[in-house]
Amino acid sequence: MKLPTLREVGTEAKLLLIGIPVFIWTMVPIYHMFLFAISPKEDAFSGKLWPDHPTLNNFSIVFNQQHYFLRDFWIQFWNSVVIAVSAGALTLLIATAAAFAISRLRVPGGRWVMNLALFTYFIPAAFLAVPMYRTMGNYGLLNNHWSLILAMVTIASPYAIWVLKQASDKLPVELDEAATMDGATTLQLFRLVYVPLMMPSLVAIGTYAILLAWNEYLYAFLLLSKDTEITLPVALGNFLAADDSPWELLMTTGFIYALPPAAIYYAFKRYMVGGLTAGAVKS
């Protein structure tokens, strides 16, 4: 084993000089949230880097709904789950069908639909929110979970169709031809050839849509308002309305709310990074 040269040590030191600030910058707000979650109320406000008496008591208060703000914690958690999963499933269904039609069936006008989808992808979500709110009102969907699900499907589908179309185009045409020669109908082609081959992209897109819906705050806050109908982020936002917000409970709830997306992200990282970065910006 040879000793590192002075130059190698220098390079490593320079990299650390970048790496350490990057680590601190990334982790401070997240660590701060975690610190509050495991601190008793009196420790939380002390400015210490680790509480004198770390505790899981805050989690127990949240899980048992033992605070005025947390009366509906579980139902709100459930609302978030239902909305995210429904939006994910519906997006996947609509986008896969569209991508198959455009890329494999070469349906007339497919390119046109692609452009419409891209156009939607580029409307800033906060700008669409204002007319969307009124539209949902006109459809009589306000305060109904369907309003948020459909809004999320609208926002997630364009990108989903675009990524899936890019992936579909890479599948060889010979596969479709061979299957058709063997007498496969269009639906069989879709179900038995297309969907299995597209699995990695479908996982990436499904995860993307679920995370998008789970993390959404603005649309959720505009479209839903009843305490038993709202999702967790809206409940968290409502904490702020009070002057004496229980910050340690707010942070605990926030931590619980942030865990599923982080876990899902790491579980599907392999698919996500490949599928999403490839699709995000074509260079």
Site residues (CB under 8 A) for other proteins, limited to 196-225:
211, 214-215, 217-218, 222
Residues 164-203 that bind other proteins (CB under 8 A): 186-187, 190
Q: Which is nearer to other proteins, 214 or 271 (CB)?
A: 214
250 binds other proteins (CB under 8 A): yes
36 binds other proteins (CB under 8 A): yes
**Closest distance to other proteins from the beta carbon of 150 (Å):** 6
Residues 110-139 that bind other proteins (CB under 8 A): 110-120, 122-135, 138-139
Number of other CB atoms surrounding residue 2 within 10 Å = 4
Tokens representing 46 are 């002390």
**Closest distance to other proteins from the beta carbon of 57 (Å):** 19
Q: Which is nearer to other proteins, 229 or 268 (CB)?
A: 268
Site string for other proteins, 78-107 (x = CB under 8 A): ---------------xxx-xx-xxx--xxx
**Closest distance to other proteins from the beta carbon of 187 (Å):** 7
Task: Quote the CA–CA distance of 229 and 72 in Å, as a whole number.
Answer: 9
Task: Quote the CA–CA distance of 204 and 197 in Å, as a whole number.
Answer: 13
Task: Quote the CA–CA distance of 187 and 192 in Å, as a whole number.
Answer: 8
Report the candidate in 104, 103, 105, 93 with the shortest Cα–Cα distance to residue 202.
93
19 binds other proteins (CB under 8 A): yes
**Closest distance to other proteins from the beta carbon of 43 (Å):** 12
Instruction: Return the residue of 6, 13, 18, 181 that touches other proteins, per CB under 8 A.
Output: 18
